[in-house]
Structure 1
Amino acid sequence: MNPICKNCEHKINGNFCSECGQSTDTHPINFHYLWHDIQHGIFHFDKGLLFTAKELFTRPGHSIREFIEGKRVNHFKPTALVFLLGSLYGLLYHFFHIEIPSTITNEDSEQTFNIIGDWITTHYALATLFTIPLISIASFLAFRKTGYNLVEHLVLNGFIAGQKLILQFIFFPLLYIYSGTQTMLLLSGISVLIDILLAFWVYNQFFDTQSTLKNILKTVLTYIYFFILFTTLTVVISIVVELFINKV
């Protein structure tokens, strides 16, 4: 006799209900269940987070393409990955009072820079998520003949953002040691350079139907488009913030 689903009361044939998808194996609510739920539901350690982190630093382009093509069970979703890692990184940044030295001499511009910088550090996950559409538009324009749509580029660059956040955690002890010093600027420059090199690697693997040279040139074009979009947006935000400061 087939068991009855405890969720929708339909007969079940297999490990999952064909009507609502609930598993037939429903554990009692106890400490074991709570720990499993924390692992699976929040961190997804048993599959997603560690598996995705490993894939992003061993075969990133191939694994992201497989995710887009439908191989998704073992992966941590890109938006959740960025939000989780970005939130944790923002908390660390705030808790350890990491300071980036300003190179701006104009007082009004420095005040604007500090306001924007404070918002980014306290909303690091949102700030990271906010840049993903910009780089996705840029890569979509640069690689437009490869056949991937804008949403697929959002997924691609969401995983790349997660990869870069993992790298930020590796760099964090150095940021803490050199917080507020000019060495921070050097470390930031090195981090950006590594980010760009990783992007070359990921894009070249992902768009594997093209030559490496073509992928390198289109990756450069992606960053040119991104720089134009980001600079334009930053100027607009700075103008708005300065107008707000002057009114106050």
Structure 2
Amino acid sequence: MELCKNCSKQFEGNFCSFCGQKKYTDKDKSLAHIFEEALHFLTHFEGSFFTSIKTILFYPGKLAVEYCAGIRKKYYKPISLFFMVVIIYLLNPMYSGLNQEYRYFKDNNVYGSMAKAAIVKKMANASITETDLMVEYGQKSKSLSKVLLFVFILSSTVFLSLLYYKQHKWLFDHVILATEINTIFILLIFILFPLLMLLIGTIFRIDEDVISDEFFALISFIAFFTYNSIAFKTMFKESKIKTMLKSLAFTILHTLFFIFVYRFIVFKVTLWFI
């Protein structure tokens, strides 16, 4: 018998029964082993990542249902998948809809007065001109708006728990479905749709200004509502009418949260970091 180098417990075989640590040998210090581990990571990452992407794109709700049922080996962890998609968007933000320019908040009909008061206070405390504040806001908000996307998982979990409280699902189930839904929200609306629009515009030589923000928002709403309807039906197995009504309610709540709450959170957090 020998001691585990990780937890100092005695164990036999190749793996510790207490912490799972692999038995350490001279082979683990070889250069070949480093490449072996790197290859294992890449093949495992590719397999589970693309399987998960394919599943959430073409089978709404299936990943959440199977993951909650304990079928997890073939999938990338949902939270990790969400943040991977966020990173992809962060690296190539073709559509800046998640972030709003500084002037949007001052002119907002709902919280414009609060935004103006926060701006005046920040200018006084930081001894900064509004022009400099505007420039710094533009630089910092681009990254912070992506980092703060996790709040969508929290809000969606609350909405799902309220809409389906009679089903007595575990909170875990709602979190996983909320994660899948928001992964597709970012992937579809902020990565794939803009790419598709760019491709169509290039092929048919359509000016970007021809496609209005209102039209894009309508198409995005319909696509998101459709996805939610299928995912809810898969997860909660209610009638079509109930599923569509709850999906519509969820999509509206999600949209309102996105427009009014999330953007204001980004605004306040960005000011705090300046």
Q: TM-score, normalised by structure 2?
A: 0.66
Please list every run of 5 or more consecutive structure 2 residues that lacks an aligned counterpart in the other structure: 116-133, 202-206
Q: CA deviation at 1:197?
A: 1.0
Find the aligned partners of 1:86 and 1:23 in 2 and give their Cα distance: 33
Q: CA deviation at 1:231?
A: 5.7
Find the aligned partners of 1:134 and 1:87 in 2 and give their Cα distance: 21
Q: Aligned AA for 1:18?
A: S
Q: Is the 8 A contact 2:148 2:266 kept in 1?
A: no
Q: 1:209-228 alignment to 2 at 5 Å? A: 210-227=238-255
* Aligned CA-pair RMSD: 4.3
Q: Call closer, same or farther: CA 1:191–1:218 in 2, change over 3 Å.
A: closer
Please list every run of 5 or more consecutive structure 1 residues that lacks an aligned counterpart in the other structure: none
Q: 1:177-188 alignment to 2 at 5 Å? A: 181=209, 183=211, 185=213, 186-188=215-217
Which shows bigger deviation, 162-171 or 127-136? Answer: 162-171
Q: CA deviation at 1:92?
A: 0.4
User: In the alignment, what sits opposite 1:22?
Assistant: 21
Q: Is the 8 A contact 1:61 1:203 kept in 2?
A: yes
3-state DSSP of counterpart to 2:46: coil
Per-residue deviation, residues 107-147 of structure 1 (Å, max 9, x unmatched) = 932797x9988766424542331212112211111111111
1:133 equivalent in alignment to 2:154: yes
Higher RCO (C-alpha 8 Å, min separation 6): 2
3-state DSSP of counterpart to 1:45: helix
Find the aligned partners of 2:59 and 2:2 in 1 and give their Cα distance: 42
Q: Call closer, same or farther: CA 1:164–1:12 in 2, change over 3 Å.
A: farther
Q: CA deviation at 1:182?
A: 5.3
User: What is the percentage of aligned positions where both structures have the same residue?
Assistant: 19
Query: What is the total number of aligned residue pairs between the two structures?
Result: 235
Q: Is the 8 A contact 2:141 2:267 kept in 1?
A: no
Find the aligned partners of 2:221 and 2:138 in 1 and give their Cα distance: 17
User: In the alignment, what sits opposite 2:195?
Assistant: 173
Find the aligned partners of 1:125 and 1:237 in 2 and give their Cα distance: 12
Q: TM-score, normalised by structure 1?
A: 0.71
Q: Aligned AA for 1:39?
A: L
Find the aligned partners of 1:224 and 1:193 in 2 and give their Cα distance: 11
3-state DSSP of counterpart to 1:181: helix
Q: Is the 8 A contact 1:204 1:215 kept in 2?
A: yes
Q: Call closer, same or farther: CA 1:148–1:121 in 2, change over 3 Å.
A: farther
Q: CA deviation at 1:60?
A: 3.2
